[in-house]
Amino acid sequence: MNELTSRLAAEAERIEEDTEHSFKGHYNAAARWARYHLLIGLPSALLAAVAGAAAFKDQPEWAGALALLSTAMTTVLTFLKPSERAEMHKTVAGQYQALRNQARLFREIGLTDGLSAEEAKARLFELAKTRDELNQSSPAIARCDYELAKKDIDSGRARYRVDEVKS
C-alpha cells in the first residue's frame, strides 16, 4: 500500500469513527425522545378520560383537577414535540450510519480495487463533505446520549463479528 492510499484509508477510518459515534448517539436520542413521548402522552390521554368520567359522576373538583393536569401535560407534549424529535434523530442516525458504511466500503474495497489516485481522493472528499454537511445540519444530542453511545462502542457492541476475527 503506497503512502497516499494509507493516508486515504486513515482518513476514511476517521470518518467511520466520527459517524459511528454520531449515529449511535442519535439512535440513543431517538429512543429517549420516544420514551418521553410515551411517558407524557399516555398519562395525559388517560387523565383526560378519567376527568371525563369524573364529570359524569358529579365530581367537578376531580374532573377539573384532572382536566387541568391533562391540559398541562398536553401543553408540554405540544411544546417539546418528543415524537418529532425522536423521528428527526432516527433519520439523522440512519444518514450517519449509511455514511459510515460507505466509508468502510471505500476503505475496505474501493481503495484495494484499483481506483486511480484522483478517483480515490475525489471519493474521500465526497465522503468528508457529506459528514461535514450532516454535522452542520443535525440536531445536537444530549451528553447522556453521547456517553451511552461511547460506552456501547468502547465495549465492542458496535463491532461486527467478522471484524473481531481480524483484530
pLDDT at 159: 75
User: Mean pLDDT across the stretch 70-78?
Assistant: 95
What's the predicted TM-score (pTM) here?
0.86
- pLDDT, tens digit, for every residue of 115-137? 899 999 999 999 999 999 999 99
Residue 91: count of CB within 10 angstroms of its CB: 13
pLDDT at 58: 87
* pLDDT over 60 (residue 78): yes
Got the DSSP string for the chain? --HHHHHHHHHHHHHHHHHHHHHHHHHHHHHHHHHHHHHHHHHHHHHHHHHHHHHHTT-HHHHHHHHHHHHHHHHHHHHH-HHHHHHHHHHHHHHHHHHHHHHHHHHHTGGGTT--HHHHHHHHHHHHHHHHHHHHHSPP--HHHHHHHHHHHHTTTT--HHHHHH-
* pLDDT over 80 (residue 158): no
- The residue that leads in pLDDT, 47 or 166, is 47
Q: How far apart are the first and last CA of the chain?
A: 19
